[in-house]
Every structure is written in C-alpha cells, then in structure tokens.
Structure 1
Amino acid sequence: VQSSDRGAALRSEHHQSVAEIVRKLEGLNIPPEPLQSPLILGDWDVEYCSNPTAPGGYYRSALGRFFLATEAMIQTVKAPDFVGNSVSFSLLGILKGQVSLKGKLLALDEKWIEITFDPPFLKLGPIEAQYGKSSKVKIAVLYVDEKIRLGRGSRGAVFVFKRR
C-alpha cells in the first residue's frame, strides 16, 4: 500500500490483495476489549483505506485530491476515550492546511468501537474555523500489534494504520 496515496491510486486487483491479507490477519490478534488494550493507544498514520473518501471525506474525493495534496493523515488514540483525526494538505502546492476532528470513543463490544466527533476544525493558511456538524462512526478493530492496526468501518471500508 506504500506510494498508493493511502489506497486511492490502487487498482481493483490490488484492493482485493489487501482485503485478502486483512482477512488472514483478522483472526490472529483481536484485542479482547479495544479500550483495554494498550496497543491501540498512540499516534497512527492512515496508510490505506479501501474507500478513499472514508478518511477525510470530500477532501479525499477525486476532485479534492486534485486540488489538495494530502501530506499526512494521522489518528491519535489516548486513554481513556480520546480520538483525534487530522488530514494535513497543501492547496495547489501553495497554501498549507489541515482539517482535524476531536472525538470520544466508546467500546460497543469486544471488537466494535463507536466514535462521536465534534464538528471539524479547518485551518487554511492564516484562516481557522470550525464548521459543519458532529458525526459518528463505528469501526471494528480487526488486528493490532506494536506496529500495525487494522480496522473495518460499519460500511465495509478497510483501514490499515501504521504506528508513528
């Protein structure tokens, strides 16, 4: 998935290969309680998503990627229940920006977590503003170790995170 713009540049057969690898790893290491596993905590780079717009919304759509070159996508998980997502980008290679979300996570069962995010915060050059409304997502933790975390969103998107 390296050099694939976090999965956006991969062809269908490559997405299928990633899905097969994820299926194999899925049964190996499921934490009994996502919030109780210290492995889930930390700063994680979003390395891959099977749906390019799942992390970052319209900033990661085909049109968004044309104008906004993604520089970093990071998810931070801190005890006891904090999640922060950020997408850093460059507008046409000229103006730096960042969209960030702060949220609270809740373990739904041994595999699924629900994250309720505050409205997004946008920083574009000197301009800063909060906009939009709060959002909620559900993600299954499929695998986690010291370096890699795999997840699946409630709509089927597969995520690969790499510890920073």
Structure 2
Amino acid sequence: MPVISSLTSSLRFEFASILSFLPFAPRFFLFEILVRKNVDAKGGEEEDLVTETDRGVLLTKEEQKEVGEIAEELQKYCVNAPVKCPLIFGEWDVVYCSNPTSPGGGYRSAIGRLVFKTNEMIQVIEAPDTVRNKVSFSAFGFLDGEVSLKGKLIALDESWIQVIFEAPELKVGGLEFQYGGQSEVKLQITYVDKKVRLGKGSRGSLFVFQRR
C-alpha cells in the first residue's frame, strides 16, 4: 500500500484549519487536498487523498471518511443546476469511488483485481447527451484489453442524470465483441468546476472525476 502522507497529523491539522474558516476559504484548497500532489518542504511529493490508491481501493475506512468530508464541503460550492452546466462535458479520469466495484463491475471486484490490473478508467461526456466509459486493463500481467460502453444521458432534474448504456464492448488482443445487454445508472452531480467533478450514485457511492 502506498504511503498516504496527506493523512498524517500535519494534514489533519491543515484540513481542520480550512474547515474552520469556510465558506471564506477558496475552493482550490479543498481540491488540492483531494486530487492534487503537493511538494513538501524537502522537495519530495506528498500524496493527496485519492491518487495512487487504485481509485480508492487502498484507502482505509478512516481515509474514505476524510474523502467524504471534503466532498461534502465542496458540494456547498456547486453551481446551480449542474446538469445544465457546460463544464460537465469533456474527458474525465475516474480517480476515486467509495465502492470499488461500482466503476468497472466484476473487473474491479476483489477476485477480478487479482486477474485484471486497471490501467485507465475514463469517462467522456459529449454534448448534447452522449456518455462513453472506458476501462483499460492488463490481464495476467501481459494481455492488454479494454471494456467500453456508450450511453445516452437523460437529465432527470437539475442535478440528477440517468445514463442508458448499450451492451459493453470488450477488446482483448485482436479480438473484439459485445456481450451482455443494456444497463442503466443514475448519478447526482454534486459539484463541478474546470478541474474536478463529484458524483453520487443512486446507492450512495461517491465518485471523484479529474479532468484529463
């Protein structure tokens, strides 16, 4: 497990200090703690809360709680009607999920991670209503592949969306085929800006997306 130095006592104090003078604290302070690497006084990199954690898999319950607390604070700064905000469009890296199997399904389960090493997990939202998810992986350490889904975005209200996906497409080596059937998900956009987007699934899973 990588060392999550942002969870040392010094960062805990910094986080507490930021919360003490919200809402006057700039939002980028919270963003930097959540998804940006910083340089410490000795010139070395301090890990933030979510990167280098296999999208949250390597975090403890205590560490996940801290991510959730920061996400709740950022929600206070969310634009009105985020579903209508053009900032949602673009290419996003999935850098954290409180439920490891929510993005990627069985490929991200405890057993799946023994076989499949996730290389990239990307979501692309294209105007006006197209969503493309892609998970690239290495199987058994030498066989590269990817799973991709294309879906239609439907706005349910000012913050909730529904995406209806076509059958997944699997590429492994020179093989390419579709399997399964349609699927759908519901997601609430709880925060978005030029660099980060937060979402909450219908079952309460927290997602952190970072713009590519």
Please report the TM-score for the alignment, with normalisation by the length of structure 2.
0.76
SS in 2 for 1:155: coil
Is 1:50–2:98 an aligned residue pair? yes
Deviation at 1:27, TM superposition (A): 1.8
* Counterpart code for 1:131: Y
Deviation at 1:93, TM superposition (A): 1.3
**Counterpart mapping for 1:15-164 below 5 A:** 15-34=64-83, 36-164=84-212
Deviation at 1:2, TM superposition (A): 1.0
Greater share of helix: 2
SS in 1 for 2:71: helix
* Residue-pair matches, total: 163
Does the 8 Å CA contact 2:82/2:192 hold for their aligned counterparts?
Answer: no
Deviation at 1:154, TM superposition (A): 0.2
SS in 2 for 1:15: helix
**Distance of 1:144 and 1:67 partners within structure 2:** 34
Does the 8 Å CA contact 1:30/1:141 hold for their aligned counterparts?
Answer: no
Greater share of strand: 1
Query: Percent identity between the aligned chains?
Result: 55
* Counterpart code for 1:58: G
Cα RMSD after superposing both structures: 0.8
Q: Which runs of 4+ in 1 moved over 2 A?
A: none
Q: Which runs of 5+ in 2 are unaligned?
A: 1-49
SS in 2 for 1:65: helix
Q: Which residue of the partner structure matches residue 5 of structure 1?
A: 54
**Distance of 1:77 and 1:154 partners within structure 2:** 19
Higher relative contact order (CA 8 A, sep 6+): 1
